[in-house]
Structure 1
Amino acid sequence: MVNTRHGAIALLLVLASCGGGGEGEGQGKGPPGGAPPPTPVGYVTVREQPVTLTTELPGRTAPFETSDVRPQVNGIVLARLFTEGDVVRAGQPLYRIDPAPYQAAVASARAALQRSQSQIGATAALSRRYGELVRINAISRQEYDNAVAGASQARADVAAQQAALRSAQIDLGRTTIRAPITGRIGRSVYTTGALVTAAQTEPLTTIQRLDPIYVDIQQSSADLLKLREQVLAGNVSRSGGARVRIKLESGSTYPQEGTLRFADVTVDPATGSQTIRALVPNQQGLLLPGMFVRAELVEGVQGRALLVPQRAVSRDERGRPTVLVVGQGNKAEPRMLTTNRTQGTDWIVTGGLRPGDRVIVEGAMMLRPGMVVNPSPFGQRPAAPPQGGRQAQPQAQAK
Structure 2
Amino acid sequence: MDEVLLRSLTPAVLAILVRRGAPFAAAEDAVQEALIEAVRGWADGPPRDPKGWLVTVAWRKFLDETRSDTARRRREDVVEAEVPPGEVPAHDDTLQLYFLCAHPSLTPSSAVALTLRAVGGLTTRQIAQAYLVPEATMGQRISRAKKTVSGVRFDEPGDVATVLRVLYLVFNEGYSGDVDLAAEAIRLTRRLAASIDHPEVAGLLALMLLHHARRAGRTGPDGGLVPLASQDRSLWDTKLIAEGVSILQAALARDRLGEFQAQAAIAALHADAPRAEETDWVQIVEWYDELARLTDSPVVRLNRAVAVGEADGARAGLAALAELDPSLPRYTAVAAYLHEREGDTAKAAELYAEAARKATNAAEVEHLTREAARLNAGLRGS
Report the TM-score range of the alignment, normalised by the length of the smaller protein: under 0.3
TM-score, normalised to structure 1's length?
Answer: 0.21
Higher helix share: 2
